[in-house]
Amino acid sequence: MALKLRDLTLGYDRHPAVHHLNLDLLPGSLTAVVGPNGAGKSTLLKGLIGEIAPLEGRIDRTARRLAYLPQLSEVDRSFPVSVGAFVAMGLWHSAGAFGRISGSAAAKVADALAAVGLTGFDRRPIAALSGGQMQRVMFARLLLQDADLILLDEPFTALDTRTAGELLQVVKRWHGEGRTVLAVLHDLEAVRNHFPDTLLLAREKVAHGPTAQVLTAENLFRARQNSEAFVESAPVCDRVELGAA
């Protein structure tokens, strides 16, 4: 397994956001994570990268290297760094956190920028980029991380159709290379058309498997019910049972 979750519970100040999740991701799988607002999708990714510690359960992964794309709104674009230097951060595993950008590294940065349609942008400050351009830069940095497990949090939100389509091709390229990709998405039509597998999350796993079998009307209705049943202020594992009076 590229990723194995057993009885995983995640939350903030011991308030649960993801409950007792069991999940197996096969190496090379391409999986969308969908669910209602507040279903715990982004929290799940933050737990997988170690930003928040499990309240219960465990995370096991065999992937040697993990890469993570946060939501675009979480990126501080006021930081005074050039596009080239920002993308080069993806080489930290080989150059070190403070490694110099050698000639070969600079060539890799140029190739990554070309792959996302930003040739010649290396000297621009990231503060001067549009949202779509910044997301392309984020993808370029991911390309250089050469990870086996790639986590994407809303990678296509608020992007124009062309940019979203081109970045989707990068995701498919990763899938074709046998990398494991887990992406939080809201566009169910895009999920149906491009993602073979889906995890439907509503604080707990509603369904996981082939997308057509997961995104049924019955499962989507259950997810909405399940999400609404949880009490935000409840301690770990306390929730209103579905159907309770």
Please report, for the chain, the start and end positions of each structural domain, with discontinuous segments joined by +.
Answer: 1-65+147-156+195-236
pLDDT of 63 reads 81
Tens digit of pLDDT at every position of the chain (245 positions): 799 999 999 998 767 889 999 999 999 999 999 999 989 999 999 999 999 999 999 999 988 899 999 999 899 888 899 999 999 999 976 655 445 556 788 999 999 999 999 999 999 999 999 999 999 999 999 999 999 999 999 999 989 999 999 999 999 999 999 999 999 999 999 999 999 999 999 999 999 999 999 999 999 999 999 876 666 655 555 544 443 33
Query: Cα–Cα distance between 206 and 200 in angstroms, integer?
Result: 5
pLDDT of 152 reads 98
Cα 155 off chain centre by: 7
Reduce the DSSP state of residue 135 to 3 states and report it: helix
Name the one residue in this structure whose structure tokens are 């049972």: 241
pLDDT of 101 reads 58
pLDDT of 38 reads 87
CB-based contacts of 235, cutoff 8 Å, min separation 6 = 14, 15, 16
152 phi and psi, to 5 degrees?
A: -125, 125
Query: Cα–Cα distance between 195 and 28 in angstroms, integer?
Result: 12
Kindly report the number of other CB atoms within 10 A of residue 238's CB atom: 11
pLDDT of 245 reads 31
State the maximum Cα–Cα separation within the chain, in Å, rounded to a whole number: 68
Query: Cα–Cα distance between 170 and 184 in angstroms, integer?
Result: 16
The length of the chain is: 245
pLDDT of 102 reads 60
Specify the CATH number of the domain 1-65+147-156+195-236: 3.40.50.300
pLDDT of 13 reads 77
**Which helix (H) or strand (E) element contains residue 230?**
none
CA atoms within 13 A on the CB side of 74: 12
**Which helix (H) or strand (E) element contains residue 219?**
helix 217-229
